[in-house]
Structure 1
Amino acid sequence: MKLVSKKKMVKQCGFPRRPPPRGAKAAQGEQAKVMGPLERVYQEIAILKKLHHVNIVKLVEVLDDPSEDNLHMGESLADPVMEVPTDNPFTEDQSRLYFRDIVLGIEYLHYQKIVHRDIKPSNLLLGDDGHVKITDFGVSNQFEGNDALLSSTAGTPAFMAPEALSDSRQSFSGKALDVWAMGVTLYCFIYGKCPFIDEYILALHSKIKNKPVEFLETPVISELLKSLILRMLDKNPDTRITIPEIKVHPWLTQDGMDPLPLEEDHCSAVEVTEEEVKNSVKFIPSLSAVILVKAMLRKRSFSNPFECPSRREERSMSAPGNLKGSSGEGNREELEDLREDEPSS
């Protein structure tokens, strides 16, 4: 069960407006409906719940306690493909196998007009079927048009792209951010650590923006792999390699001998209805309210069963004498009855 702050989701939510209608609705010229901040969150959750791909983790249910800030997001359980740093990185062949899954998963998300914004090994789960599955959409954005134009930073510092840390750029490509983070992730697969490391955040930002990528002496990797990593970690997002180009890179396809499936073979558009948006989150009362209501129902009374007996007597001074006289005994019975529900130590 993952906890996500509703306030943060509203703040970071990537729905400045409702995405344009697709298919028949678009042909009919249906007008977009302006949505409020929390409605946008529910819209995003409804879409995430309908994502269906072998390389995307399945969002099972989202629970909302109105008294808390957090949403409880229930996802399919699995372990991260790698914890960074590690002294046991993957071989080049193993890295290729896992990275092919990541490429297909990101292509599917981009097809759904979603940028992830926090790709890293700990957000990649290894399923029972042996496939890598992308998870944790807490800072993801949905966009209109061909790409997301972002203006705020989000994600994990060591995986952030240089353009997101620049003071001169007012907006930057969401797709290019994902590609950069994928490049850092691939580097981690091979070396077990990030290409840019520093304990001070400003120094880390400086390295990401200015320091060239360095390849370690061990393990020795192919020139094709080096070329792919360098193109993904191109500090200029305008010349950085794209997902379609990554899919046909000779390292990933083993010189074309093992091509990846075409986009149309594994991607189909997800549409959500207003009813699905309305039911995207299951509202639950707080735990304290559940306990109180249960006790009241058991006693068939609307009085608070946990209220101090003396205070209840004070408020009953105007009641008939026989009722006042029996209140103490009744309270003792209620407290004894409630203790039966308490777990034994």
Structure 2
Amino acid sequence: LIYKEDPSKYVGTNLIYRDTLDYWTLSTGGTIFTDIFDGMQVEIDPGVETPKYNYQASGWITGDGIMRITPSIAEGPKMPWKYNIVFTDDDSAYVGVARTGTVRDENGSSISSSDKITQPAINFFIQNTSFIDTSTGQYELMDVIAQDMNDNDTLDLFEDRIFVGAPAGSRWRATAFIIDFQLTTEATYPQGGDVYQVDWKRPFFETDTVRFSVTADDNLDSSVIDSVMKNIKVVPNPYVMTNMMEEAISNPFLNQRRKLMFTHIPAECTIHIFTVSGVLVDIIKVNNEPENGIVHWDLLTREGLEIAAGMYLYHVKSKVTGDEKLGKFAVIK
């Protein structure tokens, strides 16, 4: 775990406390931002605090028949998932499962047993596209029960209402939304292959997980890096240790280190510094921001000793492209 926010520690107003119901939630007042961690910052749009039917995201994916969707304001928020209503040419594409249980309408009022038509056969099925049935590898299917609007104990698609919900075995558990075709005619009834999406605006759930990875830029122009490496320079060259421009000389009481600067280097590279006889003096590992092509060297050996005057060689190798540059600089005392 490299980053965490909870009620004991959080940024700004990212979290808010609802004292009337005694719970914490993400602030929905606007986009929230985490602190910067590992060079990253997460931006989150909480959306809503409680589920709401998403009229903008609901509609025909394929087809344009006439159909009315009524979300259940009482029980729908308990199942705020994304659904596909898929129409077929098979009059028994789906047959209801639930036979018992209380069925409530969009306002939470239970409908009488005499008004229920259980196990209706319909030419469409409803997929819960938010979940996969692990036993089949397919989307979970929602169940249906019909409300007999004309009291004839027979399913009449153009008069009755189809309740869509989740069963618990053969028992009805809750109503997500209701479908009706009361404004539909034979000519405007959806055709086989038509798909209608029903969606909700959902808050984040405790079990939600977002996975992301950071990869190298595939559009990296190696020729540009090669061209820039040709411009690598050592400044100043030669380096004069007694130069009054050197901070270590001009401010002797501040115990400042000497600095030799490499310019135009790749953001990720390794610099080896050698004597002219090939003895390794120091290694500089560079991990700069992409726009930073500068690194300083303190003119100390790997053992922390001050280098001697003379000629030195440097070798720069890019970690990204493998391009190399060999150069030299002088140190005068």
Q: Which has the larger radius of gyration?
A: 2
TM-score interval, normalised by the smaller of the two chains: under 0.3
Q: Which has the higher contact order (CA 8 A, sep 6+)?
A: 1
Structure 2-normalised TM-score? 0.21
Q: Which has the higher strand share?
A: 2
